[in-house]
Amino acid sequence: MTVAELPRKPGGNSAKGKEQRANIFATWRRDALGRLVQRRSAEAALLAAQSFAAPGKSLHPGFSPAALLTGTGGSSSSRSKAKEDAPLPLYAVRWHQSSPADRKPEDGAGEKPPAVLKLTSAPLAEGDLQRALEAARAGAQIVAAALPTPGAFCSQEDEVSLGWRFVQLIQRLLEDGVGARLLVVCPAAATGALVAGASKAVAMEDSSLKIQRAFVPLQCLQRLDELVPRLCALSSAHKDETDLWIRDAGFRGLPFVPRLERMPAGSAKASRLPAHGLDGEPAKLLLTGATGGLGKAVVSWLIKEQGFQPEQLLLLRRMGSSKLEGDLARCTVVEAAKVDSTSVLQESLLQVRGVTGILHLAGVLDDGIVGGMTEDRMRKVAQPKCGMLVALLNAAKELQWPLQWTVGFSSTSSLFGYAGQVNYCAANALLDQLAVFSSEGARPEGDRAPCRFITVNWGPWGEAGMAQ
């Protein structure tokens, strides 16, 4: 890419002129990078999605980057002929035991030993960062292990800090201008999810970063040093996979890998949400982030297609939010001064009874390339997506709601990765891992949701939501 010289006018060589030129250049660079990121991400997203398909198979005929990012496929003429009420194709992410490797794991003879970094919420030591840089320059693998916190439901601040330490590692590698092979080792739990999510995004921004994730039982992280050779051998044997789930702490059997599978169309009867709780009383649903365009669409669907009355729907939002209209104004509204605080939510929801389901739509964007990411920007995006969810589920447990399920609105960004959205991918990954690893017995006590947790990885909504 060629950079054109900026004109010296207005301002000449004065300090003000230099400042203006710097601002113009920064804006130009941001916009140019934004266009590049969008173009490359469409291509990379297809490759990432394809890696979720079984080797040698495509997801389905006609699948394209445009189909992934817009929910449509084929030519514009074929799309215009499609029926507007055509059912949205849904795919389930299922983990299958991998096939035996075609090649034996390399014995590592002559290969430099990997640099092992243990990520916690504490700042990375400069010596650890230097070891990682030296390993990258030498072509050795970097093993970055996210050590578990007490649990995602205990301290979201620790989870955000843990994710930020990984981003700092990546920033140092990029500043040094070296490519790197990283094996990101995370617990098979919700804790550490922000590290896993962030790793998917950064791999999209720089092709010199080769990143693979391994999810392991908690006890494996307690003896990480002795297991590093085996982890690296598995990584080498399954180098074409982006994600490995090692379910047995003794490394018996083959690892599991994610695959996208087309879901059959459901019947009209099966597609309806339960109208009553287990006690026979009318069900109450609580929605977060439901006061915008996306919320309006979901509320309208619940009322018009699912048969819920507006008084059965509770909208949780920040105190002092804008006035509601239409169907939203007919629902019960609960406002809280601090939506990511368990104690504040518990007090605000004290009079609420009988909530059987939660729809968590809340979220915010603060996009930017990984080199410009900060801990505050990570926290800003994690607060409504992760902090609010955790506080709400903790409050629901304390209030003893008869909660049967929670549906988290996640994103294809956290599933496949998306350049320029490292913080958004990280935050949504918490929802993904709550759903994927909910059946794992060996999890921190602070990782256990009080009900069944389901995640939907939505692509951009054409009519509403953040895509607008």
- Report residues of the chain scoring pLDDT below 50: 1-14, 16, 18, 25, 28, 30, 32, 35-36, 39-40, 43, 60-83, 467-468
Local structure of 450: helix, strand or coil: coil
Task: For helices 193-205 and 422-436, give the axis angle rounded to 10 degrees.
Answer: 140
Q: Residue 391's pLDDT is what? A: 96
* DSSP class per residue in 224-248: HHHHHHHHHHHHHHTTT-SEEE---
- C-beta separation of 350 from 334 below 8 A: no
Helix (H) / strand (E) containing 67: helix 65-70
In this structure, what DSSP letter does residue 421 have?
A: B
Share of the chain above pLDDT 70, in %: 75
Contact at 8 Å (CB) between 426 and 161? no
Q: Both tokens of residue 301? A: 């669907």
Span 298-323, pLDDT tens digits: 999 999 999 999 999 999 999 988 88
Task: Report the alpha-carbon distance of residue 121 to residue 21 in Å, rounded.
Answer: 39
Supply the pLDDT for residue 72: 40
- What lies within 8 Å, CB to CB, of 325 at 6+ separation is none
User: Distance between CA 267 and CA 357 in Å, rounded?
Assistant: 21
Q: What is the C-alpha to C-alpha distance for residues 268 and 289, in angstroms, rounded to an integer?
A: 27
Record the tokens describing residue 242, joined without a space: 């982006």
Three-state SS at 410 = strand
Segment 32-53, tens digit of pLDDT: 455 445 544 554 555 555 566 6
Scored b (16 or more CB within 10 A) or e, 102-140 reads: eeebeeeeeeeebbbbbbebeebeeebbebbbebbeeeb
Alpha helical stretches, state H, 206-308: 218-222, 224-237, 293-304
- pLDDT at position 374 is 97
Q: At what angle do helices 15-50 and 193-205 cross, to 10 degrees?
A: 110
This prediction has a pTM of 0.83
Signed CA dihedral, 8, 9, 11, 12: sign only: positive
Handedness of CA 339, 149, 235, 140 (dihedral sign): positive
What separation in angstroms does the CA of 342 have from each of 11, 336, 349, 388, 398? Answer: 53, 11, 10, 8, 9
pLDDT at 11: 39
Q: What is the pLDDT of residue 414?
A: 94
CB 108 within 8 A of CB 149: no
What percent of the chain is modeled with pLDDT above 90? 62
